[in-house]
A = this chain, B = another copy of it.
């Protein structure tokens, strides 16, 4: 969800700019976990409405609505670490992805218990142990990591090209 459907990186940029008075440069955050790239990140993710007001990733609504017609789609978010975000994330999904039903939503701590055929994620820690096909969604924090196992994509239209 975060970094794939929700543009949490942009949300971090905006919260960070509010605190530091200038937009952080791309170079300052590349290859760094968000908690390092944005010094107050750990505070932001516990701030009310951080997840509720996150921008939607470009093209994700159209592509996911098409995927949803052809695949059994689940939205899996490692959200339980921030329990106050659970309801916000549910509301956010309901607003921006109304075609996703409650039956299709999973909020977990670890994604190790998830069984599926394809996983789209921005974290190597989630993709590495996954048994099925893996698609790595490019985000600044994962740009310096490489793996031949995962297909890296830069956008949802690239996902459409692979899966539709």
Nearest Cβ on chain B to A56's Cβ, whole angstroms: 19
Which one of A5-13, A37-45, A47-55, A79-87 contacts B?
A: A79-87
Chain multiplicity (copies)? 2
* Interface: A143 (CB within 8 A): no
A86 partner residues in chain B, CB cutoff 8 A: 83, 86-87, 90, 107
* Interface: A113 (CB within 8 A): yes
Give the CA-CA distance A74 to B81 in the complex, in Å.
Answer: 14
Q: Which of B76, B81, B102, B103 contacts A102 (CB 8 A)?
A: B81
Closest residue to A131 on the B side, CB-wise?
A: B115
Chain A interface residue count, Cβ-Cβ cutoff 8 angstroms: 24
Nearest Cβ on chain B to A103's Cβ, whole angstroms: 4
Can you list 25 A-B pairs, Cβ within 8 angstroms, ordered by A?
A: A74-B113, A80-B107, A81-B102, A83-B86, A83-B102, A84-B87, A86-B86, A86-B87, A87-B87, A102-B109, A103-B109, A103-B110, A104-B110, A105-B108, A105-B109, A106-B106, A106-B107, A106-B108, A106-B113, A108-B108, A113-B114, A113-B115, A113-B116, A114-B114, A115-B115
